[in-house]
Amino acid sequence: MKRRDALRNLALITGGLVLVPSCDFSKKDILAAYDKLKVSSDMKQLLAEIADTIIPSGETKGASDLEVQDFILVMVNDCMDEDAQKSFTKGFKSFENYTINKTGNKFGQLEPSQQEEVVLSGLQEEDEDYIDLRGFLGTTKRFTIQGFLLSEYMQTEVKPYSLIPGDYQGEVLISSLKSEKING
């Protein structure tokens, strides 16, 4: 009986030792899908707020409603070279400090009009110290628009995409044409 108890205790100790390295709660949760960027969930939320500032919700869904921030991170992680990724990450990390210097508050605590002003001033910043910030905001803006326009919501509900143009009609008044199709 003592041998069984010893083997059971040994198995429990071994299992506990295997789990101990994964129980490190000292650093923020790094999202594994964006391994090259080292993005935490807080950073992803900030990116969603920036994207929602660029394309806010109104009559149509906004950028954060369509989770465009995931598209941005995937495009930067998978499609940009290493130098561009480093510049993006550096600009991303400096954005919150830039916001605090400009307004005195964090980006999430600002009113929508103040958020727009911060993003616009960051895009127009000409100081060499903010070149990475300007690159980050430019890349974020470009991928926000691209991800929004290529989303399933836009392609099916707002502007239905037609792979093949409609049938030929020889005599049609221009005023009777519908602008709801985008032909590829």
Q: Which amino acid is at 84?
A: A
Considering the entire predicted model, what is its pTM? 0.72
pLDDT digits (tens, 9 = 90+) for 139-175: 999 999 999 999 999 888 888 777 777 677 778 787 8
d(CA 26, CA 38) in angstroms, rounded, equals 15
pLDDT attached to residue 91: 94
In a domain, 20, yes or no: no
Give the pLDDT score at 35. Answer: 72
Asked whether residue 26 is domain-assigned, the answer is no
Higher pLDDT, 8 or 89: 89
In a domain, 73, yes or no: yes
Q: What is the mean pLDDT of the chain?
A: 84
The reply to whether 87 falls in a domain is yes
Q: What is the pLDDT of residues 124-141, one digit of tens each?
A: 998 888 999 999 999 999
- Integer Cα distance of 138 and 119 in angstroms: 10
The count of structural domains within the chain is 1
By C-alpha distance, which of 156, 133, 158, 152 is closest to 67?
152
pLDDT digits (tens, 9 = 90+) for 14-67: 766 566 555 554 455 556 667 778 888 899 999 999 999 999 998 889 999 999
- Give, in degrees to the nearest 5, the angle at Cα 28 between 22 and 30: 75
44 located within any domain: yes
Residue 134: which domain range?
Answer: 31-183
- Opening angle at CA 13, ends 9 and 19, nearest 5: 145
Please tell me the predicted confidence (pLDDT) of residue 32. 64
Domain membership flag for residue 175: yes
